[in-house]
Amino acid sequence: MKTPVIDVHLHASSISGWGRQWPFVESFAATSGFYETVDANGVMKPELVEALLRRCGIDYALLLPELSPLTTYYVENEWVFEFCKHSTRFLPCANINPHLEHDLGGLVRRYIAEHGLRAIKLAPTYQHFYPNDSRLYPLYAVAEECGLPVHIHTGTSIFRQAKIKYGYPLLLDDIAVDFPRLKLVAVHSGRRFWYDEAFFLGEQHENVYLEIAGLPPKKLPEYFPKFKTLTHKFIFGSDWPAMPSLEGNIAQVRALPIPPEDQDAILGGTAARLLGIGTETFTDQDERPRRQSHGESAVGGRSAGTTSS
């Protein structure tokens, strides 16, 4: 049985959605495969994204919207939810901006019921709030109750309007303590100068996981000196399309000096548990579903199933 490969950090957006950040994304577009996924007008197409994932050996991808028009870019949750309906390979994620909503818990329940939501992404550095702000607690309570992972940006950003203080990893400590069953994912693992803090949280809290989007995987043993002791808490994310190469990052994980089963855990085994994907739901090497499976989401949403390819 093959462990699925899961990218938990893939930005779905047409060229127009990137707005002011398009020049940054464009600098990677030739190598990242971005142009393979859009039509002649720069509109992203589900069947083209699916083909890219298939080519790169990715069984599932969490597709991220983002509601940060002044700092990064703007892609609505509903656009991503609709996009995800085209393939069981796509898992819908919601970006929730606490400055735009009052009833955060109710919103999460609605997204689960209506769209089979699989995870929540919070972007404190881009939307300027502290993730341990009590305004967010109803959201965490519902996510904990429903088994939905919450992914929170930690670490630095190069975007001009970002405020780095909101990305301090230890802000997640409050949340991990107050919601001990909440699956909490430290996106970027404290990138740049907070790796130690993020790693400590992963060691300290059973419910904290470390996501590696935007980091060159070959550098993990350098960034985290005790990396080998915590491989079961690291999960693969790419940050595509703002990165050089999807298949290159996967190859770097496969080349890490750790046992193959630990590489599998990073590339998808651990994320499969977090996202409620049955370990039997995977694509065969020849890209046909090996068997029909109906891995139900932990939140009772849509079946992860096998890919439709």
Stretch of 121-129, 157-165, 225-233, 236-244 contacting Zn ion, by CB under 5 A: 236-244
Contacts of 85 (CB under 8 A, 6+ apart): none
Residue appearing with tokens 């996510």: 143
Write the binding mask 67 to 106 for Zn ion: x where contact by CB under 5 A, - elsewhere: ----------------------------------------
By beta-carbon proximity to Zn ion, the closer residue of 144 and 239 is 239
Contacts of 303 (CB under 8 A, 6+ apart): 88, 294, 295, 296, 297
CB of 260: closest distance to Zn ion in angstroms?
28
By beta-carbon proximity to Zn ion, the closer residue of 142 and 186 is 186
Stretch of 78-86, 203-211, 232-240, 289-297 contacting Zn ion, by CB under 5 A: 232-240
Stretch of 27-35, 75-83, 192-200, 234-242 contacting Zn ion, by CB under 5 A: 234-242
Provide the terminal-to-terminal Cα distance of the chain, rounded to the nearest Å.
Answer: 19
| Alpha-carbon gap, residue 248 to 25, rounded angstroms | 17
Stretch of 97-105, 231-239, 266-274, 281-289 contacting Zn ion, by CB under 5 A: 231-239
By beta-carbon proximity to Zn ion, the closer residue of 64 and 142 is 64
Amino acid letter at 121? Answer: K
By beta-carbon proximity to Zn ion, the closer residue of 8 and 175 is 8
On whether the CB atoms of residues 192 and 160 are closer than 8 A, the answer is no
By beta-carbon proximity to Zn ion, the closer residue of 173 and 239 is 239
Contact between 66 and Zn ion by CB under 5 A: the answer reads no
Cα angle value 268/158/22 (rounded, 5°)? 80
| Alpha-carbon gap, residue 162 to 160, rounded angstroms | 6
| Alpha-carbon gap, residue 138 to 24, rounded angstroms | 35
CB of 213: closest distance to Zn ion in angstroms?
6
CA 67 to chain centre: 15
Contacting Zn ion within 237-296 (CB under 5 A): 239
Stretch of 101-109, 177-185, 233-241, 286-294 contacting Zn ion, by CB under 5 A: 233-241
On whether the CB atoms of residues 238 and 232 are closer than 8 A, the answer is no
Amino acid letter at 238? Answer: S
* Reduced DSSP (H G I as helix, E B as strand, rest coil) percent helix, strand, coil of the chain, to 5: 40, 15, 40
By beta-carbon proximity to Zn ion, the closer residue of 12 and 142 is 12
By beta-carbon proximity to Zn ion, the closer residue of 4 and 65 is 65
By the criterion CB under 5 A, which residues form the site for Zn ion? 239
